[in-house]
Chains A and B, each alone.
Chain A
Amino acid sequence: MRKLGAIFLATALTLGLAACGGDSGGGQELSDGPVTLRFTWWGSDARHQRTQQVIDLFQKEHPNITVKGEFKDWNGYWESLATTVAANDAPDVIQVDELYLASYAERGALLDLGTATKHLKTADFDAEALATGQVDGKQYALPVGLAAYSMVVNTDLLARYKVTPPDDGSWTWDDLKRIGEQISTASGGKVTGVQAFGFDAGSLNVWARQNGTSLYDDKGNVAIPPAVLAGFWSYLLDLTKSGAAPEASVTIERASASLDQSGTATNASAFGTWWNTQLTSLSAASGAKLRLLKMPGEAGARSPGAYYKPSMFWSVSSRSKHQAEAALFVDFLANDEAAANVLLTDRGVPANTKIRAAITPRLADTDKAAVAYLDTLEVGQAPRVTPNGASGIEAILKRHTEEVLFGRATPDQAAAAFIKELQAEIDGA
Chain B
Amino acid sequence: MSALGELRSIRGSTRGSPRKRDNRAALVFLLPWFGGLFLITLGPVAASLVLGFTDYNLIQPPEFNGVDNFTRMLSDERLHNALRVTFVYVVVSVPVQLACALGLAMLLDRGLRGMAFYRSAFYLPSLLGSSVAIAVLWRQVFGADGLVNQLLDLVGVQGRGWISDPSTALSTLIVLNVWTFGAPMIIFLAGLRQIPVMYYEAAAIDGAGRWKQFWRVTLPLLSPIIFFNLVLQIIHAFQSFTQAFVVSGGSGGPSDSTLFYTLYLYQRGFNNFDMGYASALAWLLLVIIAAFTAVNFWAAKYWVFYDD
Contacts and interface: CB of A to CB of B under 8 A. Distances in A.
Given A3-B245, A249-B161, A252-B164, A403 B255 contact: yes
Interface in A1-34: 1-5, 7-9, 11-16, 18-19, 21
Interface stretch (B17-25, B109-117, B263-271): B263-271
B160 interface: yes
B136 to A, nearest CB: 12
A249 B169 CA distance: 11
B152 interface: no
A82 interface: yes
A402 B278 contact: no
A86 interface: yes
Interface stretch (B4-12, B53-61, B174-182, B207-215): B53-61
A253 B251 contact: no
B271 A18 contact: no
A78 B267 CA distance: 11
Interface in A106-150: 107-109
A8 B286 CA distance: 13
**Which range holds the interface residue count of chain B?**
35 or more
B47 interface: yes
Interface string B125-169: 000001000000000000110000000000000001101111100
A256 interface: yes
A82 B272 CA distance: 10
Nearest to B58: A86
Contacts of B242: 1-3
Contacts of B254: 249, 252, 402, 406
Nearest to A100: B273
Interface stretch (A64-72, A331-339, A391-399): A391-399
Given A3-B262, A108-B60, A253 B256 contact: no
- Greatest chain B CB density within 10 A among A75, A82, A391, A429 is at A82
Interface in B261-307: 262, 265-267, 269-275, 278-279, 282
Interface residues of A, number: 49
B82 interface: no
A249 B44 contact: no
Contact of B164 (A14, A78, A249): A249
Contact of A1 (B130, B163, B279): B130
Q: Taking chain A's interface residues, is the majority helix, strand, or loop, or is none over half, making it mixed?
A: helix
Contacts of B270: 7, 78-79, 82-83
A82 B273 contact: yes
A109 B143 CA distance: 40
Nearest to A107: B59
A256 B165 CA distance: 13
Interface in A384-423: 389, 391-392, 395, 398-400, 402-403, 406, 408
Contacts of B269: 7
Contacts, number: 142
A250 B254 CA distance: 12
Contact of B51 (A11, A19, A79, A399): A11
A19 B61 contact: yes
A428 B270 CA distance: 15
Contact of A11 (B40, B47, B256, B271): B47
B108 interface: no
- Greatest chain A CB density within 10 A among B242, B267, B275 is at B275
B272 A249 contact: no
Interface in B29-73: 40-41, 43-48, 50-51, 56-62
Interface in B243-258: 245, 248-251, 253-256
A40 interface: no
A70 B57 CA distance: 23
B48 A256 contact: no
- Greatest chain A CB density within 10 A among B166, B250, B278, B279 is at B166
Contact of B59 (A75, A104, A398): A104
Given A18-B61, A392-B272, A12 B47 contact: yes
Contacts of A3: 241-242, 245, 262, 266
A85 interface: yes
A11 B163 contact: no
Nearest to B252: A399
B251 A398 contact: yes
Contacts of B48: 7-8, 11-12
Contacts of B51: 11, 15
Nearest to A395: B251
B239 interface: yes
Contacts of B56: 14
B62 A15 contact: yes
Nearest to A104: B59
Given A85-B58, A108-B59, A250-B144, A8 B45 contact: yes
A103 interface: yes
Identify the 7 closest CB pairs spanning chains A and B, nearest first.
Answer: A249-B161, A12-B44, A8-B44, A402-B255, A253-B164, A86-B58, A252-B164
Given A7-B48, A107-B273, A389-B273, 6 more contacts: A11-B48, A75-B250, A82-B270, A252-B254, A399-B251, A408-B166
